Amino acid sequence: MSRRVSPRSARNIFQWCVCALCVLCGQAFAADYARVEGARFRSVLPAAPPDDTAAVAPFLLARRPVTNGEFLAFVRAHPQWRRDRIARLFADEGYLRHWAEAGALGTADPQQPVTQVSWFAAVAYCEAQGARLPTWHEWEWAAAADERSTDARDDPAWRQRILSWYSRPATDDLRRVAAGAPDVRGVHDLHGLIWEWVEDFGSLLVGGDSRESGDPDRMKFCGSGALDLEQKENYAVLMRIALLSSLQARSTMRHLGFRCARPAPGAP
pLDDT of residue 242: 86
Residue 47 belongs to domain spanning: 7-263
Q: Is residue 2 part of a domain?
A: no
Per-residue DSSP letter, 79: G
Residue 256 belongs to a domain:
yes
Residue 232, judged by CB atoms within 10 A of its CB (0-12, 13-18, 19+), counts as exposed
Could you tell me the CATH number of the domain that includes residue 193? Answer: 3.90.1580
248: pLDDT confidence band, cut at 50, 70 and 90? Answer: very high
Provide the pairing of β-strand 261-263 with 59-62: antiparallel
- Lowest mean pLDDT, pick from 23-27, 121-125, 234-238, 263-267: 23-27
For the chain, give the mean pLDDT. 82
Q: Is residue 142, in this structure, part of any structural domain at all? A: yes
pLDDT tier at 209 (50, 70, 90 boundaries)? very low
Evaluate whether 218 touches 246 at the Cβ level (below 8 Å).
Answer: yes
Per-residue pLDDT tens for 97-135?
999 999 999 999 999 999 999 999 999 999 999 999 999
- Would residue 1 count as lying in a domain? no
214 in any annotated domain: yes
Measure Cα distances from 202 to 68, 83, 136 in Å.
Answer: 25, 23, 10
State the amino acid at position 236 in one-letter form.
A
The band of 93, judged by pLDDT with boundaries at 50, 70 and 90, is very high
Residues contacting residue 128 through CB under 8 Å, at least 6 positions apart: 74, 77, 78
Q: Is residue 268 part of a domain?
A: no
What total number of domains does the chain contain?
1
Measure Cα distances from 171 to 61, 149, 240, 255 in Å. Answer: 28, 32, 19, 10
Residue 35, domain member (yes or no): yes
Does residue 55 lie in a domain region?
yes
